[in-house]
């Protein structure tokens, strides 16, 4: 029997974290990892549905497996993740993608070993999707990608129902993990040599709101900060409506908590924000960012922005550009609004034509890049501390890593410093990264 596997992961850190668990379960079943999806015994697609092109990519890549399975008939093809929580997608897998053997969703990844065994013993296609959680499953084996840094999910799901977004439908309601379990997990990671953790949630600032113990995100940051051995604590994503003064104080006061804040604003126009159901205004964003910058001067603040939301006007886009300039974001992911079936915005009137969306994206990008370059320029000729994450494929003496506030640094250095924190002198500050040499 071919006991090798390959996992193809699409989407966000939640999916990467889930894939590490799927990998952990497969290893526990005696499987070993391979890089070649054509010859693997088990292939898992962990899918994302956040924008239409994510769906299109997955279906495109799945198509190739019709022929791979002809040359490798033993192969088991499993598909999971956010796409599978939508009935119309599962239907398409059922009817048009017979090469897929197993389908499961985001709420039952812990059931994968059982589903795999069921398929292997019956040779039937296995479909199992849960509509929502059947409780938190703790302590799944995790096959971590890096020994020195790790994702730690602190909550799952989302209750915000932003009108454009599919995530609340694919990930279910917000459930925070008990803080004792999170702390225990991070203590074990730190004892194992892990230097950096990234606390994950769709909206980390609302951590604990669904629990009765009056323990919130600021409390968690302080307790994680106290864990011996750990060097850096990151977290994402922050939602502007729930960013409390307690959290700002905790970031400012905790030496290990990185001043890297991914504050997804989505738009700078109050009317658009209202239609998006985001729960804050243009003025709130600007005041919040000013407060963060004055309390935490070294903070790098990054964001997500959507252009072309239904009904957005040129004047609305100007509001967004105002906010980008007033907040001086260090960097941003910007997206063209994509219609998601089943979300309120998909049936709103005044959908924006594609060419207009593209023009607006270009305008936004020009503005973001200018500001990003300015924000990086201050690092020119300075020494920064970098957690070294790896070497360049083409040149092992060329290393890459991140500063405490999240800046990407490429530099010449000792390959043996991968997995440690080193000092780098910055020779050239670029728009998207910093270039330098280890000192």
> Which positions touch ligand F3S (CB under 6 A)?
11-12, 14-15, 48-50, 82, 166-167, 170-171
Gap between the Cα atoms of 4 and 225, Å rounded: 39
Using CB distances below 5 to 8 A depending on partner kind, what does residue 168 bind out of ligand F3S, ligand SF4, ligand SAH, none? ligand SF4
Gap between the Cα atoms of 246 and 222, Å rounded: 10
The H-or-E segment that residue 190 falls in is: helix 179-191
Gap between the Cα atoms of 98 and 93, Å rounded: 7
Would you say 89 or 182 has its CB closer to ligand F3S? 89
| Residue 167 binds to ligand SF4 (criterion: CB under 6 A) | yes
Contact letters for ligand SF4, residues 184-203 (x by CB under 6 A): ------------------xx
Contact letters for ligand SF4, residues 200-219 (x by CB under 6 A): --xx----------------
The residue from 99, 160, 338, 410 that contacts ligand SF4 (CB under 6 A) is 160
Q: How far is the CB of 295 from ligand F3S (least distance, A)?
A: 30
The dihedral built from the CA positions of residue 307, 310, 313 and 319, taken in this order, carries a sign that is negative
- Of the listed pieces 7-15, 162-170, 287-295, 360-368, which binds ligand SF4 according to CB under 6 A? 162-170
- Of the listed pieces 163-171, 253-261, 284-292, 378-386, which binds ligand SF4 according to CB under 6 A? 163-171
Using CB distances below 5 to 8 A depending on partner kind, what does residue 15 bind out of ligand SAH, ligand F3S, ligand SF4, none? ligand F3S
Tell me how crowded residue 135 is: count the other CB atoms within 10 A of its CB.
7
Using CB distances below 5 to 8 A depending on partner kind, what does residue 161 bind out of ligand SAH, ligand F3S, ligand SF4, none? ligand SF4
Which residues of 102-181 form beta strands (DSSP E)? 102-104, 126-128, 149-153, 155-156, 175-176
The dihedral built from the CA positions of residue 409, 413, 417 and 423, taken in this order, carries a sign that is negative
Gap between the Cα atoms of 264 and 262, Å rounded: 6
Using CB distances below 5 to 8 A depending on partner kind, what does residue 82 bind out of ligand SAH, ligand F3S, ligand SF4, none? ligand F3S
| Residue 272 binds to ligand SAH (criterion: CB under 6 A) | no
Q: Which residues in 294-353 contact ligand SAH (CB under 6 A)?
A: 304, 306, 335, 337-338, 340
Q: Do the bridges between strand 175-176 and strand 155-156 make them parallel or antiparallel, or are there none, so unpaired? A: antiparallel
| Residue 285 binds to ligand SAH (criterion: CB under 6 A) | no
Which residues of 265-382 form beta strands (DSSP E)? 300-307, 331-336
Q: Which residues in 78-137 contact ligand SAH (CB under 6 A)?
A: none
Among 39, 36, 49, residue whose Cα is nearest residue 10: 49
Gap between the Cα atoms of 20 and 298, Å rounded: 32
Would you say 69 or 278 has its CB closer to ligand SF4? 278
Among 83, 124, 122, 87, residue whose Cα is nearest residue 102: 124
Q: Which residues form the interface with ligand SF4 (CB under 6 A)?
A: 158, 160-162, 165, 167-168, 202-203, 239
């Amino acid at each position: 029997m071919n006991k090798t596997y390959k996992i193809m992961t699409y989407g966000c850190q939640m999916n990467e974290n889930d894939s590490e668990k799927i990998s952990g379960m497969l290893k526990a079943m005696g499987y070993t990892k391979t890089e070649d999806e054509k010859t693997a015994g088990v292939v898992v697609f962990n899918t994302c549905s956040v924008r239409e092109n994510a769906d299109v990519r997955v279906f495109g890549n799945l198509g190739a497996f019709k022929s791979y399975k002809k040359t490798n008939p033993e192969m088991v093809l499993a598909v999971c993740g956010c796409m599978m929580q939508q009935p119309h997608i599962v239907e398409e897998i059922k009817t048009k993608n017979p090469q897929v053997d197993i389908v499961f969703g985001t709420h039952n990844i812990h059931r994968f070993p059982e589903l795999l065994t069921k398929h292997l013993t019956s040779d039937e296609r296995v479909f199992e999707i849960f509509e929502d959680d059947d409780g938190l499953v703790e302590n799944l084996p995790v096959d971590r990608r890096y020994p020195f840094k790790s994702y730690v999910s602190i909550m799952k799901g989302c209750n915000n129902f932003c009108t454009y977004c599919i995530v609340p439908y694919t990930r279910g309601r917000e459930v925070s993990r008990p803080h004792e379990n999170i702390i225990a997990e991070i203590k074990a990671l730190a004892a194992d040599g892990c230097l950096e953790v990234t606390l994950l949630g769709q909206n980390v600032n609302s951590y604990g709101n669904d629990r009765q113990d009056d323990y919130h995100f600021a409390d968690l940051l302080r307790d994680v900060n106290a864990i011996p051995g750990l060097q850096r604590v990151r977290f994402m994503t922050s939602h502007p409506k729930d960013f409390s003064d307690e959290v700002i104080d905790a970031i400012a006061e905790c030496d290990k908590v990185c001043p890297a804040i991914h504050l997804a604003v989505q738009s700078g126009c109050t009317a658009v924000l209202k239609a998006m159901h985001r729960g804050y205004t243009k003025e709130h964003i600007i005041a919040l960012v000013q407060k963060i910058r004055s309390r935490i001067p070294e903070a790098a603040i990054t964001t997500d922005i959507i252009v072309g939301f239904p009904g957005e006007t040129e004047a609305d886009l100007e509001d967004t550009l105002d906010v980008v300039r007033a907040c001086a974001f260090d960097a941003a992911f910007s997206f063209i609004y994509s219609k998601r079936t089943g979300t309120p915005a998909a049936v709103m009137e005044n959908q924006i034509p594609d060419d207009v969306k593209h023009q607006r994206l270009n305008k936004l990008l020009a503005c973001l890049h200018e500001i990003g370059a300015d924000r990086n320029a201050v690092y020119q000729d300075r020494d920064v501390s970098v957690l070294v994450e790896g070497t360049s494929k083409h040149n092992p003496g060329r290393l890459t890593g991140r500063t405490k506030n999240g800046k990407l640094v490429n530099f010449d250095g000792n390959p043996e410093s991968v997995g440690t924190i080193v000092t780098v002198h910055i020779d050239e500050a670029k728009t998207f990264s910093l270039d330098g040499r280890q000192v």
